[in-house]
């Protein structure tokens, strides 16, 4: 049986640094409030003319180079984003054109913050089946373009940052390396705890979008913060324990836990609940904020480049996002 593994990783962060004091100029808040509630101190924002596919290009090129491949060796492109270039078609098509890989299969997925793990699961099965040899997964977000600093929107707006990460999955000649498991879950009954109402076909009218939608804030994220926090902690903790059980391991076996960088307070609660030493957890949310699906691949690449995830390291990825969706992956690097 073919063994699939992560062959390469890459990421890209826009150069513009936005501090909490910069955020204070956009909305009524304070540095102390943001740090106390979220732990975020800085984030990156893309320039106005930069799209999700633009951010993804350098991340993808870096991942393919890191894998020791050329772009013409990629057979399938998977892209996850909640901030696409356009409403349709899928953002993967725009990214494909910019990467100059016409003719290969492309796939858009909308798994929010769990996009990388869902993408790994898809790639893992395709590679093991022999359907595709090299799969490129891109997660890219320009959340700064969806910031709403109103009273209703600022509970999530203070978190948001921009960035892109990419991973190449392919066959491994080293049986010690590989994607050991991917565990996927969802519960749509919580979908409206964090969602954007408009545009949408469920609004009970013929118009795609109206001025009232804009004025009422229906075009912006709306979040039930307590529901998201409580479910995020519970589901990510459960996903960690489930991954350990499926693989017959204990937390002592894990070299590095990379959680979705939702906010620092959530991560602190999860770390305490799963009883993992803080030194085994990768955290960068203070520096980059919550970049939705881009968090995990960026963190994974940074962990590799900094030496915290070395060849042979057993790394667990875990995520929770709107939907609700949650997932975990266990990878031997």
Q: Per CATH, is 4-171 categorized as 3.40.109.10?
A: no
In whole angstroms, give the CA distance from residue 80 to residue 46.
18
List of E strands, 175-324: 178-186, 194-195, 222-223, 256-259, 314-321
In Å, what is the CA distance from 221 to each residue of 83, 178, 232?
11, 37, 17
Fold agreement between 4-171 and 178-332: yes
Tell me which CATH code domain 178-332 carries: 3.40.47.10
Which DSSP letter does residue 2 get? P
Low-confidence ranges of the chain (pLDDT < 70): none
In whole angstroms, give the CA distance from residue 295 to residue 163.
8
- Helix, strand, or coil (residue 45): coil
In Å, what is the CA distance from 42 to each residue of 50, 284, 288?
20, 10, 6
Q: pTM for this one?
A: 0.97
Half-sphere CA count of 7, side-chain side, radius 13 A: 27
Q: What is the dihedral of CA 253, 255, 256, 257, to 10 degrees?
A: 0
What residue segments make up the domains of the chain, in order of their start? 4-171, 178-332
CA 167 to chain centre: 12
Q: Is the peptide bond before 324 cis (omega within 30 degrees of 0)?
A: yes
The pLDDT value recorded for residue 140 is: 98
In Å, what is the CA distance from 173 to each residue of 129, 177, 178, 312?
16, 8, 10, 14
As annotated, the active-site residues are 113, 260, 290
Write out pLDDT tens, residues 35-65: 999 999 999 999 999 999 999 999 999 999 9
């Amino acid at each position: 049986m073919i063994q699939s593994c992560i062959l390469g990783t890459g990421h890209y962060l826009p150069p513009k640094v936005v501090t909490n004091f910069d955020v204070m100029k956009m909305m009524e808040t304070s540095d102390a409030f943001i740090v106390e509630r979220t732990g975020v101190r800085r984030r990156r924002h893309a320039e106005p003319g930069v799209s999700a596919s633009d951010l993804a290009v350098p991340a993808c090129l870096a991942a393919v180079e890191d894998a020791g491949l050329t772009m013409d060796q990629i057979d399938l492109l998977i892209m996850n984003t909640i901030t696409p270039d356009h409403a349709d078609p899928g953002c993967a098509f725009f990214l494909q054109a910019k990467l100059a890989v016409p003719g290969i299969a492309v796939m858009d997925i909308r798994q929010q913050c769990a996009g990388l793990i869902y993408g790994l699961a898809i790639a893992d099965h395709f590679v093991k089946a022999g359907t595709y040899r090299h799969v490129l997964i891109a997660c890219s977000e320009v959340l700064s373009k969806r910031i709403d600093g109103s009273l209703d929107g600022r509970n999530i707006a203070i978190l948001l940052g921009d960035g892109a990460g990419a991973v190449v999955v392919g066959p491994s000649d080293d049986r010690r390396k590989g994607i050991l498991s991917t565990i996927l879950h969802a519960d749509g009954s919580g979908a409206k705890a964090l969602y954007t109402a408009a545009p949408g076909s469920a609004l009970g009218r013929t118009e795609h979008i109206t001025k009232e939608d804009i004025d009422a804030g229906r075009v912006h994220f709306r979040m039930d913060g307590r529901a998201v926090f409580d479910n995020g902690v519970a589901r990510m903790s459960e996903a960690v324990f489930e991954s350990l059980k499926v693989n017959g391991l204990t937390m002592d076996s894990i070299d590095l836990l990379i959680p979705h960088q939702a906010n620092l307070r959530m991560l602190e609660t999860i770390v305490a609940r799963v009883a993992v030493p803080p030194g085994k957890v990768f955290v960068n949310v203070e520096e980059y904020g919550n970049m939705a699906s881009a968090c995990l691949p960026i963190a994974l690449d940074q962990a590799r480049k900094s030496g915290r995830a070395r060849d042979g390291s057993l790394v667990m990825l875990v995520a929770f996002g709107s939907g609700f969706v949650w997932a975990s992956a266990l990878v031997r690097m």
